[in-house]
Amino acid sequence: RRSSALNELFQGMQGERVRRVLRYLDRAKTDRAYPFARLCKRLFWSLTEAQSNEKFLRPLRSRLEALRDATSFERMPAHFRPIVHLIFLVWKTSVYYNTKEKLIEIMKRMCDLIVFRAEEFLSCGFPLMVEEVEEAEDTVRRIIMAVAVMGKLKSNFLRYRKKSFEECPSNPWNIPNRAIFKQMDVILDRCRTLIEIYSTYLQYQSIVGLTFPGG
């Protein structure tokens, strides 16, 4: 963990050898004293930030692991709201983990996971040649399910983004959708196109073989 590594480094810099070096540099009035002191200060603040982030993200870690390890793609949305809610609480209370960059990073990781699982879920639902109506119907059901799952993640984020403007007016989630959902939106567009294609095929199959009066 980053905080452990920084803490080990910081403790090492508090040792007697380092202190002797600092005293020597101070007495010698060398130009190297100030950069070294500045480095120590930066290390201290980095350690403080890392420890704070670890504290606030600890409850979130187990939720994200549960999402990652979910065996059923259809049930993954049950994890979305608790995770986004925790992210929102961290945003409200953390001193450091409340920047746009941090929010985009963690949400994009979630999106990447859901997109990967959606593609995995759909990969067994796309026969190269659809010869049976049942196959096409199953494929459409899978695509609709994938669209619904991805849409629920997006809707949860948008709900809390709106909430952030109400509860955190000085630091809301003022982030454009494309910064987080660009890849997911591409997949969603493809899925909607495939739904149209398969639906057209099913409509065509439904009239094949029909006999019309006067025909």
pLDDT at residue 47 in the model: 56
Residues 81, 156 contacting (CB under 8 angstroms) = yes
Judge whether residue 209 has pLDDT over 60: no
Q: Above 60 in pLDDT, residue 186?
A: yes
For the chain, the distance separating the N- and C-terminal CA atoms, rounded to the nearest angstrom, is: 76
Dihedral angle over CA of 120, 122, 124, 129, nearest 10: -140
Q: According to the model, what pLDDT value does residue 167 have? A: 94
DSSP for 103-172, please give it.
HHHHHHHHHHHHHHHHHHHHHTT--SS--SHHHHHHHHHHHHHHHHHHHHHHHHHHHHHHHHHHH-TTS-
pLDDT in tens, 51-108: 556 666 677 888 889 999 999 999 999 999 999 999 998 898 877 778 899 899 999 9
Residue 172 pLDDT: 95
pLDDT per residue as tens digits for the range 106-126: 999 999 999 999 988 987 645
Domain ranges of the chain: 1-58, 70-215
Q: Which residue has the higher pLDDT, 180 or 129?
A: 180
State yes or no: pLDDT of 5 exceeds 80: no
Instruction: Please give the pLDDT value at position 212.
Output: 47
